[in-house]
Structure 1
Amino acid sequence: MLEIDTGRPTSVAGQDDAVDAATLITDLPYGPKAAEIAREAVAVALHGTEADLLDDARLITSELATNAFDSGSPPLVLCVDRRGQTSGVLEVEITVTDGGCTHPAPSSSPIPGEEAESGRGLVIVEALADAWSLTTGTRAWCRLTRGPSPSTTST
């Protein structure tokens, strides 16, 4: 199921200068294809944005979806909120929710060894996102913010 809600939010506090807003919500398959489907959905939601934002968003979403599949239970749901402001700032919020943890979360995140093939997902999210949070077993969220492009006028 894929839902896209476009248009300006009418009653969101602090969003008075939003000029372009869209929300995409989609179910993800509970399986190894979750990350691939999530990346494709983010590409649809962020169509027309600058390449580096799209690349960061796709990588983050892939990590969040993989984490939800590996650690959670069905259903997996992706939500991408995109808000452009009159000031030229673009804000993207990405949320992946799942049906809950199937096993208790460790008290601290172990740092993967150099040769480890997994375990770096949240480190990547933290490095790329402007803000993020993880609610153990149910919800992972992050925000990416990009300012207006520098003026190309020469003096």
Structure 2
Amino acid sequence: MHTETQPSEAQPPVTVRVFRQRFSATRKAARLARLLAVHQLHEWGLPYGSDSSDIAALIVAELAANAVTHGRVPGRDFELRLALDSGGLLRIEVTDARTERRLPAPPPLTPPSDAEAGRGLLLVEALAETWGVTERQVGKNVWATLRTTGSGFGLGTGGLAEE
């Protein structure tokens, strides 16, 4: 039996913009990942200094810092991937090459007040809509999603409509 889809039943197409870049596993590269992410988001219509851009920058900074601090394997890179869909959902992924299968322990409720580290995943947890870790054949992929305001797809403010 053949059925035709009526125009009113058709689903609107979903457009996804993707940015992917590999970086050496160094602190300078983690900083560069954050800067390039903010630049790319600006190109997609999420302006520098907007709430969405600033939150995304913090998430990228924390995940990239974790990749170079805890996921570093000498001679191997980490990768940043950003995907922004036409509904304004931004997915941030940072993949490292650390081979153990252990997923990070849930962050403590509060690190000691004099601790110099230990707040990164707490920030990600607080700022992201969702986040998690996906195992890979080699390494792991730590991801977070963020609902943006203004996406370069004609939603919200700050962008040109996608053609």
Instruction: Give the letter for the 1:125 counterpart.
Output: V
Larger radius of gyration: 2
2:51 is the alignment partner of 1:49: no
CA offsets 1:48-92 (integer angstroms, 9 cap, x no match): 21500000000000000001111112320000001123xxxx110
TM-score (norm 1): 0.72
1:4-153 matches, within 5 Å, as: 16-19=12-15, 21-47=16-42, 48-50=45-47, 51-73=50-72, 74-85=76-87, 90-101=88-99, 109-110=107-108, 111-135=110-134, 138-146=140-148, 149=156
Structure 2 unmatched ranges of 5 or more: 1-10, 150-154, 158-163
How many aligned residue pairs are there?
A: 131
- Whether the aligned pair in 2 keeps the contact of 1:71 and 1:103 (CA below 8 Å) is no
Q: What is the percentage of aligned positions where both structures have the same residue?
A: 34
Structure 1 unmatched ranges of 5 or more: 1-14, 151-155
CA offsets 1:115-140 (integer angstroms, 9 cap, x no match): 11111000000100001002475110
Match of 1:7 in 2: none
Q: Over aligned residues, Cα RMSD in angstroms? A: 2.6
Query: Structure 1: how far apart are the matches of 2:14 and 2:64?
Result: 28
Instruction: Give the letter for the 1:94 counterpart.
Output: I
TM-score (norm 2): 0.69
